[in-house]
Structure 1
Amino acid sequence: MTRDAAAERAAFDELGRRLRNDRELWTDFEALCRHGGRMAGTASERAAQEWCERQLAAFGPVSREPTAYAGWRCDHASLTSLPDGRQLEAVPLLGTAFTPEAGVDLPVLDLGRGTPDMIAAAGEAVRGHAVMVRHEYPFSTQTVHRRVKLGAAHRAGAAAFLVVQPEAGVGPVSGSSGRAGGPGIPAMGISAEAAQALQKAGARVRLTIRGEDLPQARTDTLVLDLPGGQAERAEERVVLSAHIDGHPLAESALDNATGAAAAIALARAFAPRMHAMRRGLTVCLFSAEEWALNGSREWLAAMPEPRRAAMALNVNLDSLAGSPRLTALTSGFERLGEFARAGAGLAGNDVGIHLPLMANSDHANFAACGIPAMRLIAGFDEPGSALRLLLTPADTRALVDEGQLRNAAVVAAGVLWQALRADSLAELRDRAAEAA
């Protein structure tokens, strides 16, 4: 090892030790959980944003950049078994269509997994029914996303949509409908026990969802910009991102208090070292991610092109615990996997690599702008991991192992160190043909 390489290694090792011993990483995580589910548009979200702003302001000026999104408010939601009047465990999907004031009475059609092919095969039997399908582990190469199933049911003439959390004793599953104020059908997440009650022949339900679409909704993107110390790369930025918002069912601990707390810890670790970096670091904490990635999409679309063009890489932190195994979702950028592995190696770890684009967090919106982007996630292709409990009342801090969170933060630090110190990141823009 050359003297320069040894010095570089020693400098990163010192940063890694600081992160591993950073007591505030865990206390920040717990503080975010204490704010509750942090659903966009609620007092819980606003309080969490104010708290995050205060934390980031310790490292430099923080901008609150107003960001539009297709908002929605639910005033009442219920699912009733007919004719016995039993109230079933259910929550409306975010942004879902509303029912008439008195609700709507519908027969239930159970389509099992409920893939688009299965919905199409049911033919006219779908029309006018509340179609019931199963929620799938969201982080897998085999997953069929709830919005894909919902869209297929809507097109087939279903009158409502029920998605089942398959594990007993957990409660209902939440998630976004992706409707964004447009056409749609009422959609709810329900518990395994509710589904069991509706599996009998001739089952009927009354759905009631009342509220209001809020097309002019606004949230804030929190932005901390830390310039690098070398003039030749003064305009370039590596963007470190995470989302603050979640769902009202629990604490949104895995998804995504883990990522937001790690992003703050990384800002704390890198801020005093930015004079030695070749390019700057921009830390973005988004909201309205749970609304079909609406917040970061609108934020990127609204900014001047030169600011977007200066973004050399996005490292997105979302759901960093629940399994000791980490994966980099590299959005079709062919050389980004090798880059991520080298960064993890610098931290004494390894990561799995998934090359095809997965539009399941804010990195997807950076990739859509041609910016190399990766999501660091725990539990990919591990359906038995704690991440199976995302979007449910079980997503509390009890699911999070402190050691896993610290390890993920250090892996992310290795990737950031490489990105901030590299002579050039231009080669990371190469994309697989199917992703271009």
Structure 2
Amino acid sequence: MKRKVHAFLFLLLLTGGIAQAQVKDPVVEGIVKEANENSQLEVLAHELLDGTGPRLVGTPEMQKAHDWAVAKYKDWGIAAKNEKWGEWRGWQRGVTHVDMVHPRVQSLEATQLAWSPGTKSKGVTAELVVLPDVQDSVAFQKWLPSVKGKLVMISMQQPTGRPDYNWEEFATKESLAKMKEEREAQTAAFNENMKKTGYTSRTLPAALEKAGAAGVVTSNWSRGFGVNKIFGAYTKKIPSIDVALEDYGMLYRLVESGSKPQIRIQAESKELKNAPTFNTVAQIKGTEKPEEYVVLSAHFDSWDGGTGATDNGTGTIVMMEAMRILKKMYPNPKRTIIAGHWGSEEQGLNGSRAFVADHPEIVKNIQAVFNQDNGTGRVVNISGQGFLHAYDYLGRWLSAAPREITSGIETNFPGFPGGGGSDHASFVAAGAPAFMLSSLNWSYGTYTWHTNRDTYDKIVFDDVRNNAILVAILAYKASEDPATANRERIVLPVDSRTGEQRTWPEQREPTRKGGLD
């Protein structure tokens, strides 16, 4: 109900400002025209995603992306630099090929996990085994030596590779209920058995490695057709791979039927020297209040199962395009406008936390931060993040945008402060007004968030163009506003679970040496 009230109030603000909106603003008109008639989004996406590819922290591709962004900004006449804040384990993905070689030959859909050790030139060929059902951790310890020289499958065999929406469309009610019941029972049994081993999915790979296993095989299905989530390895010396559900299930069944399947893993990844980590920071200098700042925020890094298109290539190109347009249509802003492309967000908001820690002189003078991270969709939700008067100034800025841009946006004022999830939280914790521009879903959680399918073709450019227009207008109006944004915070309510007063999120230090232990 609260959200509906605020959405209604926001609509009143917009309609109440019709007379003002009818006085045409040439800057706003110029922003809209430039975005629609001379968009660079497709070019930026192609160069970043197809040309550079995924941007895993510590890899040469991440460095290539940083250098590309600086060069692109300079082409537009915008000052930009790569600002070092730490270092990370150096690693580079190479050619990976995984084949079943017994009881028949078949190439498999598989991905080496990030930072996984590579193999020798001939690869690793070994028999597959699955985790046994064990009575307790003592029994599991007795089984462990049997993995020596074997490739161990440590994920559950999924009973269906069809997403729920497909079942709901075609299955009978009885069949759907039966599938869900059996899957829940199988999942519960698998989790209970994992608990009995004394390990978790994070700690088990190291134990298998110590016991002499030849490699670790997982399948982190994302509940959609052909889509797995691809994260990092927990092994130091043996390869870790993720196998698509379809092939993983086949291999699992072959193990269970006694066929003793063997696969060959060839992974040519390289361990490199520790790599410096950067934020790419661009700015258009303010003319009247150069020591006050409007920040356009998006993380630059990605996981590397796909090419990081919607997480967060789209946020990246939105902020770059907005800066390009602002430089052309609003070259002399009152306040300095900064674009921050943060490194290592995926490992804990490290780049933005480092920027906040290293630049208190900027943070204390921030007018607003606009952050975009969660996919290709047009912005549909903005929260006040717990800033008591955010409605006043954010509402004014939003009212300047065309109705076709803002009509689908719901607002929640004053909202609650974000404690994590994306880089706006780093600024919120430091008391700076920072707002997440939350996007329409487009099946983000299932199909593109951290998956092997997060690629250029998933971008919906009409929505991304809307977002670039919105960000450019918000930055313009925040820069022009004669008033400084009020930072007063709400009094947070009592936590119903603990009975204690909720507190504002604390500012946290970044990890400045990552993956080096």
Q: Which amino acid aligns with 2:282?
A: L
> In the alignment, what sits opposite 2:59?
42
Q: Does 1:110 align with 2:156?
A: yes
Larger Rg: 2
Contact in 2 for aligned 1:249/1:392 (Cα 8 Å): yes
| 2:314 counterpart of 1:258 | yes
Matches within 5 A, 1:158-169: 163-169=220-226
The aligned counterpart of 1:143 is none
Compute the displacement of 1:212 (Å): 7.9
Asked if structure 1 preserves the Cα contact closer than 8 Å seen for 2:297 and 2:341, the reply is yes
Distance 2:60 2:45 in 1: 19
SS in 1 for 2:306: coil
2:479 matches 1:420: yes
How far is 1:237 from its partner? 0.6
Structure 2: how far apart are the matches of 1:126 and 1:198?
24
2-structure distance, mates of 1:258, 1:2: 32
Query: How many pairs does the alignment contain?
Result: 404
Matched, 1:390 2:449: yes
Return the alpha-carbon distance in structure 1 between the equivalents of residues 90 and 411 of structure 2. 36
2:109–2:247 contact (8 Å) kept in structure 1: yes
User: 1:261-308 CA deviation, whole Å, 9 max, x = no partner?
Assistant: 22122112222555664421111222333333333333333x143233
Q: Distance in 2 between matches of 1:9 and 1:50?
A: 36
What are the superposed Cα offsets for residues 358-377 of structure 1, whole Å, 9 maximum, x if unpaired?
63332222223332222324
Where in structure 2 are there 5+ consecutive unaligned residues?
A: 1-16, 125-148, 159-182, 210-215, 493-501, 505-517
CA offset at residue 310 of structure 1?
2.4
Q: Is the 8 A contact 1:38 1:48 kept in 2?
A: no
Matched, 1:306 2:361: yes
1:28 counterpart = 2:85: no
User: Within 5 Å, which residues of 2 pair with 1:357-436?
Assistant: 357=418, 359-380=420-441, 383=443, 388-428=447-487, 430-431=489-490, 433=492, 434=502, 436=504
Distance 1:53 1:44 in 2: 14
CA gap 1:337/1:393 in 2 versus in 1, 3 angstroms? farther
| Alpha-carbon displacement from aligned partner over 1:18-75 (angstroms, at most 9, x marks no partner) | 2222232332222222224232333433333222212211233222212314335266
Supply the AA of the counterpart residue of 2:111. Answer: V
Matched with 2:249 is 196
Provide the secondary structure at the position in 2 that maps to 1:110: coil
Contact 2:117 2:269 in 1 (8 A): no
**Are 2:306 and 2:452, in contact at CA under 8 Å, matched by a contact in 1?**
yes
- The equivalent residue for 2:372 is 317
Quote the sequence identity (%).
19
Task: Indicate whether 1:64 and 2:82 are aligned.
Answer: yes
SS in 1 for 2:451: coil
Residue 91 of structure 1: aligned partner: 111
Residue 64 of structure 2 aligns with an amino acid whose one-letter code is A
User: 2 CA distance for matches of 1:82 and 1:415?
Assistant: 57
Distance 1:266 1:189, change over 3 A: same
Q: Distance in 2 between matches of 1:192 and 1:2?
A: 54
RMSD of aligned alpha carbons: 4.5
2:177 maps to what in 1?
Answer: none
Does residue 127 of the first structure (1) align with residue 197 of the second (2)?
A: yes
Per-residue displacement from partner, 1:75-113 (whole Å, max 9, x unpaired)?
6888898996987544354457999x9776446463979
TM-score by length of 1: 0.73
Aligned counterparts, 1:207-222, within 5 A: 216-222=274-280
Between 1:278-287 and 1:212-221, the stretch displaced more is: 212-221
TM-score using structure 2 length: 0.63
- C-alpha change, 1:125 and 1:270, in structure 2 (3 Å) is closer
- Taking the TM superposition and a 5 Å limit, the aligned residue runs for 1:156-305 are 163-170=220-227, 172-175=228-231, 189-197=242-250, 200=253, 216-230=274-288, 233-272=289-328, 274=330, 277-301=333-357, 303-305=358-360
Q: Distance in 2 between matches of 1:372 and 1:126?
A: 47
What stretches of structure 1 of length at least 5 have no aligned partner?
132-149
Contact 1:228 1:278 (C-alpha < 8 Å) held by counterparts = yes
- Deviation per CA, 1:401-430: give whole Å up to 9, x if none: 221111111122232233212233442452
- 1:229·1:275 contact (CA, 8 Å) conserved in 2? no
